[in-house]
Structure 1
Amino acid sequence: MGAQQVLETIKEKNVQFVDFRFTDLAGRSHHITLPADQVDEDTFVNGVAFDGSSIPGFRGIEESDMVMMPDPETSYIDPFTEHPTLIVTCNIYTPDGERYDRDPRSIAQKAEEYLKSTGIGTAAYFAPESEFFIFDDVRFTSGMNKSFYEVDSEEGFWNTGRTEEGGNLGFKVRVKGGYVPVQPVDSQQDIRSEMVRLMQEAGLKVERHHHEVATAGQGEINFRFDTLTKTADNLMKYKYIIHNTARQYGKVATFMPKPLFGDNGSGMHVHQSIFNGDTPLFYEKGAYANLSELALNYIGGILFHAPALIALTNPSTNSFKRLVPGYEAPVNLVFSKGNRSAAIRIPVAAVTPKGCRIEFRTPDSTANPYLAFAAMLLAGLDGIKRKIDPRALGYGPLDKNIYELSDEEKREIRSVPGSLDEALNALEADHEFLTAGGVFTEGFIENYIAFKRAEAKDVAIRTHPHEYSLYFDC
């Protein structure tokens, strides 16, 4: 869709406003809305000005003028506004017409351009499985003299004895007992179906939805794979629709990796593959899991660079509340076919040559998808260029339940960093693979590390409620 088609859509759909959006460093959307009669072909040529100094991690006040350049192919009708509104995703440029090196979407596009320049393939395909919770209530505060959080859900197993419901109807979801039960245990079938309906209207090709493992309203909706930047665009659309549909139902959705203690967290398993034209490059019939040597080298790159990569794929302090041994969130840097305890799983059920892919299970949805997908691709490409063999480096394949291995056996397996600070240290030491082809710049990486270190410090210096349980009587 070009600019002229967008303008025709505005007329045909009686659109009253056009919402121009971009994504910041942390992966959150921002927008400026123009009346539809103020949008013309020049808008798509000259862009929409905004103040970059007011966006965390972007620019200082002395160089704050920036430009959103609309991408007409991303347009869709907002399903939530009272007045008909068209949403258009934008890239960020400087006033002199240069792509802004801290714009996440531009980084994703440069990663795709770099793939083509290597001659390895023409397109990388991504498909994230982004899990979430839908709660009925959330309360939190962090102040000088108090700090707490509390979430509630009619599904929560802690509510089996609650009387405030006007007659407790039971059928709560047991801890770790929420994987694909039917109604009435799954109380959120209709809300997820409405999310799917709205996603389809907005152009997403949804494949399925279901309740996930945890109690208290954990769910998952899967949409079809696409190329790197388009998939990141789709994930931003996906999260927007989930957040706002939940709100329309009087509920609240969160993609936090670990909002509950003692039950499964929410991950973002990322399926990925490379094609050259119509030819899948990850498939080799009869090899281990039908994987080509190129695919194995791609796996080798991801596992080798994983400690640094995780600073971009799991970029929150809360990420490391999920990345603990014993849960489905894999902390073990090995690959295996059909094994959900490994960092990289190779799907083997009902897989065709074109469907042959790897699944990196460690990431979560606090990641900025443009940055995370670009970083994963660059790590994999580095593995291909350097012919990194994961088997030679002790990364598997390991076709065992890793959680049931002895302590001695586990000591032989590399693990993910134990905190955001550790991951940032790894990124500081290992990021040359990200700067290949100028995709990430040194300046971007330095700024990103400083931005995330500030977050980690904010958490580290605050008194934790559990410390009162441990130390108040000292």
Structure 2
Amino acid sequence: MSVQHVMELIDREAIAWIDFRFTDLLGRSHHITVPADEVDEETFAQGIAFDGSSLPGFCSIEESDMVMLPDPETAYIDPFTEHPTLIILCDILTPDGEVFDRDPRSIAKKAEQYLQATGIGTAAYFGPEMEFFVFDDVRYEYTQNSYMARVDSIEGHWNTGRQEEGGNLGFKVKHNGGYVPVQPVDSLHDLRSEISRLLIAAGLRVERHHHEVATAGQCEINFRYDTLVKSADNLMKYKYIVHNTARRRGKTATFMPKPIHGENGSGMHTHQSIFNGDQPLFYQKGGYGNMSELAMYYIGGILYHAPALTALTNPSTNSFKRLVPGYEAPVNLVFSKGNRSAAVRIPLAAVSPKGARIEFRTPDAAANPYLAFAAMLMAGLDGIKRKIDPRALGYGPVDKNIYELTPEEKAEICCIPASLEEALDQLEADHEFMLAGGVFSKSFLEHYIAIKREEARAVQTRIHPYEYALYYDC
């Protein structure tokens, strides 16, 4: 959509407000809203000023003037505002018009440009599979003398005996028994359909939706893959629409990776491929999983750099409550065809040459999509450039259920870091591949690591309620 088309859309839909948005280092959206009458073609050339010093990791107060530069191609009508509002995503520039090197969206753009500069291909495609929970109630508190968290869902298997329904209606989702049941066990079908309708109206191609494995409202809605930046843009739209549709219906949605102990967590399995024009580069008939050698090197780069990647693809302390060896999340640094217990899976079902791809199953939706997708692409490209063969390095293929291997067999398999702090250590030790082409900067990574270390320390130094169960009687 061009600037002219945006201006025509504003007139045609009687838009009253333009909501200019950008994404911070942590993956949260921020916005400044301007009357539509104050927006013209010059606005798209000059941008909108804002204070960058009020956001973690952006800039200090003496250099706080920043500019949001709107991208007209991202415009879509906000379905939640009382007054007609058009949302437009933005890049961040410095006051002198230079790209801000800590702007996540600009980093993602530079990753795309780097791919083209290498001559390997013209476009990288990403397709994230987003999982999330929908709760009816969430409460948490942390004070000096009180520490608690409580979530509830009418679907929760713990609610088979509750009386607050005016007579319990039954049909609860059993423990880890929520994979694609029909109504009335699946009580969220209509909510997902409504979310999907709004996603389509916002420009996403929704492919399907269903209930996921966990009890208490775990859902998945899949949208079609796109180029790196466009997929990250779509993911930001996705989160906004999921959060607000749930709230409109008196519920609350979260992409927190592991909100319930003992149930499957929520991941962001990320499908990836590279094309050169219309030519898919990952397909080779007769290869392992019909993968080309270039695809194998890409897999090698992902697995080789995975310990460092997790600092960006699984960037919360809660992420590592999901990434537990022997449980449902793939922590094993191996690849396999059709095997969901491997960190990298090669999909086999209903795959055409253009659909040939790899799936990195470790990430979760706590990630900033611009940073996570860019880092994964840089790791894969490093694998291609250096011809990192995953087979030669012991990364597989492993065509067995890894969870059922013997202890001796498991000892031969490397795992991702066990905590956010360990992942940050790995990123400090292994980040040169991200600096290629100026995609990520040293300054950015230093600020990112500092922010995330502070998060890790904040959790590590606070008292956990379960410590009372373990130690109060000592």
Name the TM-score, length of structure 2 as normaliser.
Answer: 1.00
- Counterpart Cα distance in 2 of 1:184 and 1:327: 28
Q: How many angstroms does 1:327 deviate by?
A: 2.7
Aligned twin of 2:128: 128
Secondary structure in 2 matching 1:239: helix
- Counterpart Cα distance in 1 of 2:111 and 2:268: 20
- Counterpart Cα distance in 1 of 2:436 and 2:147: 43
Secondary structure in 2 matching 1:30: strand
- Counterpart Cα distance in 2 of 1:472 and 1:59: 44
Aligned AA (1:291): M
Aligned twin of 2:218: 218
Aligned AA (1:222): N
> 1:266-285 counterparts in 2 under 5 A?
266-285=266-285
- Counterpart Cα distance in 1 of 2:186 and 2:461: 39
Secondary structure in 1 matching 2:272: strand
Aligned AA (1:259): P
Aligned twin of 1:157: 157
Aligned AA (2:223): F
Q: How many angstroms does 1:381 deviate by?
A: 0.1
Aligned twin of 1:393: 393
Aligned twin of 1:234: 234
Aligned twin of 1:329: 329
Aligned AA (1:78): D
- Counterpart Cα distance in 2 of 1:319 and 1:128: 17
Secondary structure in 2 matching 1:256: coil
Q: How many angstroms does 1:443 deviate by?
A: 0.5
- Counterpart Cα distance in 1 of 2:283 and 2:4: 41
Aligned AA (2:16): Q
- Counterpart Cα distance in 2 of 1:313 and 1:335: 18
Q: How many angstroms does 1:5 deviate by?
A: 1.2
Secondary structure in 2 matching 1:108: helix
Aligned twin of 1:371: 371
Secondary structure in 2 matching 1:435: helix
Aligned twin of 1:76: 76
1:20 aligns with 2:31: no
Q: How many angstroms does 1:142 deviate by?
A: 1.0
1:260 aligns with 2:260: yes
Tell me the C-alpha RMSD between the 2 structures: 0.5
Secondary structure in 1 matching 2:253: strand
Q: How many angstroms does 1:3 deviate by?
A: 1.2
**Equivalent pairs, count:** 474
Aligned twin of 2:450: 450
Aligned twin of 1:8: 8
> 1:302-321 counterparts in 2 under 5 A?
302-321=302-321
Secondary structure in 1 matching 2:317: coil
Secondary structure in 1 matching 2:32: strand
- Counterpart Cα distance in 1 of 2:123 and 2:327: 33
- Counterpart Cα distance in 2 of 1:327 and 1:82: 44
Q: How many angstroms does 1:57 deviate by?
A: 1.4
- Counterpart Cα distance in 1 of 2:306 and 2:45: 40
Secondary structure in 1 matching 2:384: helix
Secondary structure in 2 matching 1:253: strand
Q: How many angstroms does 1:165 deviate by?
A: 1.2
Aligned AA (1:389): D
Aligned twin of 1:428: 428
Aligned AA (1:415): C
- Counterpart Cα distance in 2 of 1:331 and 1:198: 34
- Counterpart Cα distance in 2 of 1:330 and 1:234: 25
Aligned twin of 2:183: 183
Q: How many angstroms does 1:325 deviate by?
A: 2.0
Aligned twin of 2:148: 148
Aligned AA (2:257): P
Deviates more, 1:320-329 or 1:246-255: 320-329
Secondary structure in 2 matching 1:310: helix
1:440 aligns with 2:440: yes
Aligned AA (2:422): E
Q: Is the 8 A contact 1:421 1:456 kept in 2?
A: yes
Aligned AA (2:297): N
Q: How many angstroms does 1:133 deviate by?
A: 0.2
Secondary structure in 1 matching 2:82: coil
Q: How many angstroms does 1:164 deviate by?
A: 1.3
Gaps of 5+ in 2: none
Q: How many angstroms does 1:201 deviate by?
A: 0.7
Secondary structure in 2 matching 1:259: coil
Aligned AA (1:450): A
Q: Is the 8 A contact 1:331 1:362 kept in 2?
A: yes
Aligned twin of 1:299: 299
Q: How many angstroms does 1:326 deviate by?
A: 2.7
Aligned AA (1:133): F
Aligned AA (2:375): A
* Identity within the alignment, %: 75
Runs of 4+ in 1 over 3 A off after TM superposition: none
Aligned AA (1:43): T
Aligned twin of 2:93: 93
Aligned AA (2:252): V
- Counterpart Cα distance in 1 of 2:92 and 2:202: 23
Deviation per CA, 1:288-316: give whole Å up to 9, x if none. 10000000000000000000000000000
Aligned AA (2:356): C
Secondary structure in 2 matching 1:25: coil
Q: Is the 8 A contact 1:328 1:340 kept in 2?
A: no
- Counterpart Cα distance in 1 of 2:440 and 2:171: 49
Aligned twin of 1:167: 167
- Counterpart Cα distance in 1 of 2:22 and 2:328: 33
Q: Is the 8 A contact 1:160 1:170 kept in 2?
A: yes
- Counterpart Cα distance in 2 of 1:337 and 1:141: 44
Gaps of 5+ in 1: none
- Counterpart Cα distance in 2 of 1:428 and 1:203: 38
Deviation per CA, 1:31-69: give whole Å up to 9, x if none. 000000000111001100000011111111111100000
> 1:43-58 counterparts in 2 under 5 A?
43-58=43-58
> 1:244-259 counterparts in 2 under 5 A?
244-259=244-259
Q: Is the 8 A contact 1:271 1:360 kept in 2?
A: yes
Q: How many angstroms does 1:328 deviate by?
A: 2.6
Aligned AA (2:62): E
Deviation per CA, 1:2-52: give whole Å up to 9, x if none. 111111110000000000000000000000000000001110011000000
Deviation per CA, 1:136-188: give whole Å up to 9, x if none. 00000111111110000000000011111110011000111000000000000
